[in-house]
Amino acid sequence: MKFVAVSSCPTGIAHTYMAAEALEQAGKAAGHEVFVETQGAAGSTPLDPQIIADADGVIYAADLEVKDKGRFAGKPAIDVGVKKAVHDPVGVIAMAVAAVEAAPQRVAGAAPAPVPAQAARKIGVGTRIRQYLMTGVSHMIPFVAAGGILIGLGFMLGGYKVYEFAETSLFNGDFNVTSKMAWGALLFWAGKAAFFFLVPALSGYIAYAIADRPGITPGFVGGLISATVGAGFLGGLASGFIAGFLALWISRWKVPKGVRGIMPVVVTPLLAVIGTALMMYVVLGRPIAALMKALSSWLNGMSGANIIILGVILGLMMAFDMGGPLNKVAYVFATTGLQAVLANPTTDATQFKIMAAVMAAGMTPPLGLALATAVRGALFTEEERENGKAAWLLGASFITEGAIPFAAADPLRVIPSLMLGSGITGGLVMAFGSTLRAPHGGVWVTPLIGQPLAFLAAVLIGTVVTAAAVIIVKGVGRSRTANAAVVPVVVGSAV
């Protein structure tokens, strides 16, 4: 059979493409052809209409609304969500085959027989909220990564005086191409410009996820107000939801036909911006700003055992779902704190230590699994050993999602092992006092790390601990399986 599929996940980064690859491989192994359209962060290339026409069935492995779903009308379809496709692609293919076989048969040359409508997969309120949040975070991350790395490079080239140099010379058109200070100032301010959009992008795309295009304008405006009044990341979350639901409510008003055409471009943005501004300036902005100020003071006052415990907790969060909501909460907590202090020349700010702990803890899961497959390859399948080779680069680049294939295949043993290694790594980074001014990059931004040797030592220790834990738990599980298989033979002989 021939199948077409659409895969998408809330962030559009890892699971989208892992689901596509898993479905293609499972289909090939079962003797079927599967063509997948990935609707991810990198954009999507629509499937050829002829491929859709020739397909026997459709697979929706999507956690977000499928774009142009009407293209697949009239064909048997299943809707399983992206995680099912990643964890059990063989089962998904079997479900698709069953759906095709149960559908009314089509006579050659006749119009497609109507296919009974499939009940939509029920999505709970909690899942919806998570989708809105992750949509905002996924669109925010490029601003964070680009801005943070540029600012870090600016400091590396020009030292901590780049801010002053830009104000006195760069803004007046005095740019010397041979001056490291000039280039440092340029990179610093380019990064600052990118970082400026962090909270507005978060707020704007949360609102977009809720209300589609009518939510973008009030969402961005609400995010900018949050940044202006000092409400920061928490304010951006609040303004995104306020703007999104307000725009959604207004767009559903029953209005005369003459007004309907201008609703999405004039009326909805206008009224939603007013409502969002009212809420953020008058009601929520100042209390959230006070909370953010208190949080910042608390973080800066942390020291000793407390900051090590914080590092352990952040490490556990980074490894728990490897790119999922809990991982992103820890990452966004670090990056938004980084944004707040990057213009401050203080080298030992707690926020810089938090960023270092989060990145180090996010590197160890794929690195630990790569080491485990290299040391004890017999404990892993051939496919896992191949994934282990790629995990070296993924881990070194701070792409925690490289550990997902291993965790999906054996979550009860792999995930606790990853959390052990990442928790130790996060705590060690805090204890060593390493700092980081870039929000991403892995080993490739080592020049931007304070106490780089200590940082790398923490990553190495966490990698070894992760690998050892995985090898031990897999070895124990394998031994028990082997013993269980031997017992019936012994008993039979005795009888």
Is 82 an annotated catalytic residue? no
Identify the active-site residue in 4, 6, 9, 272: 9
The two structure tokens encoding residue 64:
């977000």
Query: Do 436 and 359 contact (CB within 8 A), yes or no?
Result: yes
Amino acid at 205: Y
Q: Which residues are catalytic?
A: 9
